[in-house]
C-alpha cells in the first residue's frame, strides 16, 4: 500500500483530489498518512477546515493540520473569486483552529521516518515544502517521491501572462525548492498539462451518480457550480480545470503520462515576472537537472480512473 502525504489548499480541484485519494485509501491501494495545508486558494486554517470536512464525510481519520500561515517574503494573496469565499465554492464550513507551531512539520517528519517510500503530493503553493527544507534538512533530503502541481512552464500563465497561481502566490518558495530540490528531484505537473483535465456539468452529473450513497455526493453540485461560473467568466467555457486531481493520478501512476528530465528555474523578485517558471530544454544553462517535467497525460484514462475509483468506493459504502 503506497503511503501518501498531501499538502494542499482546498480549493475546489484540491477537494476532488482528496475525494479520489480517500477512495483509493478505502480500496486499500494507498494509505493517507496525513494532510497538511498551505495558504493559497484560501487561508491555511480554512483549507484545513475544508480538508477535514471532506475527510470526515468520507470516514478518513488521517491527521489534517494547517501549515505555515503564508509566504515568508511576500504578503499572502488568496483567491475567493476562483474558489468561493472560503474555498469550497458556494459551501462554507468552519476553519480549523491554528495548530501548535510546527505540528504539521512533525507529521512530515514522522511520515519520512516511518515510510521510506512515502509519496508527497503538493497541490498548493510550495510554502510548506520550502519551510521543511529549512527546518528539517535531513528529512527533506530523504524525500524520494515528490510531485508538485505548479508553474506554467514555458507556457502562458493563469495568474499573470507568464505565471501559474501556486508559483505566483509564493514565488520565493518555488524558486528555493527548484534551486535546491530534494535529492531525488521533483516531478512537476505544470498548467499546460493539468488544465486539460476538465469537468463539465454532464461529467459532474455522472460523478455524483458514481459516488452513489457516499455523503460527499450530495455536496458536490454547490462546490463545482462556483468553479464552472469562474471558468465561464474567464472565457473558458462553463466547465472547470481539475489540476490537482490529475496531479494525484500522475503522482500515483494511475494514469499514463510522459515526462522528461530537465532543469527548472522560477523567478521570484521581478514584479512583472513573479512566479514565472522556465525549463531549460536545450541545456543552455549547463546546470544539473532538478525535475521531471510532465509533458503529456492521457486525459481519457484520467476520467476512466476517476470513474473506477468512485464507483468502486460507492459499491463498498459504508466502508467501516
Ligand atoms: C492551481 O491553483 C489553484 O487555484 C488550484 O487549486 C491549482 O492547484 C492551478 O493553477
Ligand atoms: Ca490547489
Strands (E) in the chain, as ranges, are 2-8, 30-37, 64-66, 119-122, 145-149, 186-189, 198-199, 240-241, 257-262, 264-266, 277-279, 291-297
Hey, whose CA ends up nearest to atom 10 of ligand 1? Answer: 165
Q: Given this model, what pLDDT does residue 214 score?
A: 97
Sign of CA dihedral 15, 239, 156, 263: positive
Report d(CA 107, CA 109) in Å as an integer: 5
Buried b (16+ CB within 10 A) or exposed e, 31-66: ebbbbbbbbbbbbbbbbbbbbbbbbebbebebbbbb
Give the Å distance between the CA of 165 and the centre of ligand 1. 6
Partners of 198 in beta bridges? 241
Task: List pLDDT tens digits, range 239-253.
Answer: 999 999 999 999 999
| 119 vs 99, more confident | 119
Residue range 213-223, pLDDT digits in tens: 999 999 999 99
Predicted local confidence at residue 101, as pLDDT: 87
pLDDT at 295 over 80: yes
Beta carbon of 11 within 6 Å of any ligand 1 atom: yes
Side-chain-side CA neighbours of residue 177 (13 Å): 30
Residue 165, ligand 1, Cβ within 6 A: yes
Active site residues: 243
198-208 tens-digit pLDDT: 999 999 999 99
Task: State pLDDT tens for residues 40-75.
Answer: 999 999 999 999 999 999 999 999 999 999 999 999
Average pLDDT over every residue of 150-161: 98
Pocket probe for ligand 1: among 14, 37, 41, the residue whose CB has the most ligand atoms within 8 Å is 41
The residue extents of the domains of the chain are: 2-316
Residue that has been written with the C-alpha cell 477537494 in this structure: 15
Q: How far is the CA of 184 from the centre of ligand 1 (A)?
A: 24
Most informative mutation of 42, 150, 226, 250 for ligand 1 (most atoms within 8 A of CB): 150
Asked: is 2-316 a CATH 3.90.245.10 domain? The reply is yes
With a 6 Å cutoff on the Cβ, whether 14 touches ligand 1 is: yes
Residue-averaged pLDDT of the chain: 97
Give the Å distances, CA to CA, from 94 to 43, 47, 227.
Answer: 12, 10, 20
Amino acid at each position: 500500500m503506497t503511503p501518501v502525504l498531501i499538502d494542499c489548499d482546498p480549493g475546489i480541484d484540491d477537494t476532488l483530489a482528496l475525494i479520489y485519494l480517500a477512495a483509493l485509501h478505502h480500496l486499500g491501494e494507498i494509505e493517507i498518512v496525513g494532510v497538511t495545508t498551505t495558504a493559497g486558494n484560501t487561508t491555511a486554517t480554512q483549507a484545513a477546515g475544508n480538508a477535514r470536512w471532506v475527510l470526515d464525510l468520507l470516514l478518513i481519520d488521517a491527521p489534517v493540520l494547517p501549515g505555515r500561515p503564508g509566504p515568508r517574503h511576500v504578503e499572502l494573496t488568496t483567491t475567493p473569486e476562483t474558489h468561493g469565499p472560503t474555498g469550497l465554492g458556494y459551501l462554507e464550513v468552519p476553519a480549523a483552529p491554528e495548530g501548535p507551531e510546527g505540528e504539521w512539520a512533525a507529521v512530515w517528519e514522522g511520515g519520512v521516518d516511518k515510510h521510506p517510500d512515502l509519496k508527497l503530493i503538493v497541490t498548493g503553493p510550495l510554502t510548506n515544502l520550502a519551510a521543511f527544507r529549512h527546518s528539517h534538512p535531513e528529512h527533506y533530503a530523504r524525500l524520494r517521491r515528490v510531485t508538485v502541481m505548479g508553474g506554467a512552464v514555458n507556457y502562458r500563465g493563469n495568474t499573470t501572462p507568464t505565471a501559474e497561481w501556486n508559483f505566483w502566490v509564493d514565488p520565493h518558495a518555488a524558486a528555493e525548492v527548484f534551486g535546491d530540490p530534494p535529492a531525488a528531484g521533483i516531478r512537476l505537473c505544470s498548467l499546460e498539462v493539468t488544465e486539460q483535465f476538465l469537468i463539465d456539468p454532464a461529467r459532474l452529473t455522472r460523478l455524483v451518480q458514481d459516488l452513489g450513497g457516499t455523503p460527499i455526493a450530495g455536496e458536490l453540485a454547490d462546490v463545482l457550480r462556483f468553479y464552472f461560473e469562474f471558468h465561464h467568466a474567464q472565457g473558458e467555457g462553463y466547465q472547470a480545470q481539475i489540476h490537482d486531481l490529475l496531479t494525484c493520478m500522475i503522482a500515483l501512476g494511475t494514469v499514463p503520462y510522459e515526462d522528461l528530465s530537465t532543469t527548472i528555474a522560477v523567478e521570484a523578485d521581478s514584479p512583472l515576472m513573479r512566479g514565472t517558471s522556465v525549463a531549460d530544454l536545450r541545456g543552455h544553462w549547463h546546470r544539473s537537472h532538478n525535475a521531471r517535467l510532465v509533458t503529456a497525460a492521457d486525459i481519457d484514462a484520467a476520467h476512466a480512473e476517476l470513474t473506477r475509483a468512485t464507483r468502486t468506493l460507492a459499491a463498498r459504502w459504508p466502508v467501516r
